Amino acid sequence: MSHADPNCIFCKIAEGQIPSRKVYEDEELLGFHDIRPHAPVHFLLIPKVHVPSLQEVGPEHEALLGRMLALAPRLARENGADNGFRVVVNTGPDGGQEVYHLHVHVMGGPRPWRVG
């Protein structure tokens, strides 16, 4: 079963067709640095399966979402955000979502910095 959307940039990153600076990878999840960071530490966590946004999440994704959030503190610490961080999931047009493959932003590092 293929989970990839051929037009999706994050599916291409998950499949290694587009390079990324990885912070984490397992069978279900991938973490990589945001190409345009808004904070000293800014990485994204995505499921490898193509889910467009939080609006398409179903009961079958609950464990996956839980794992993504549970991983955030460990990866934040390992990547230099050891004094707290912010988690953001932009969802839909009014949520400012640009890439329609579910992703969790993890942003931290020494302040000042702010997300616009």
Could you give the residue numbers annotated as active site? 103
115 lies in the binding site for ligand 5GP (CB under 6 A): no
48 lies in the binding site for Zn ion (CB under 5 A): no
Q: Which is closer to ligand 5GP, CB of 59 or CB of 114?
A: 114
Q: Which is closer to Zn ion, CB of 85 or CB of 101?
A: 101
- Dist CA 47 CA 101 (whole Å): 8
20 lies in the binding site for ligand 5GP (CB under 6 A): yes
Binding-site residue total for Zn ion (CB under 5 A)?
6
34 binds, among ligand 5GP, Zn ion, none (CB under 5 to 8 A by kind): ligand 5GP
* Interaction residues for ligand 5GP, span 43-62 (CB under 6 A): none
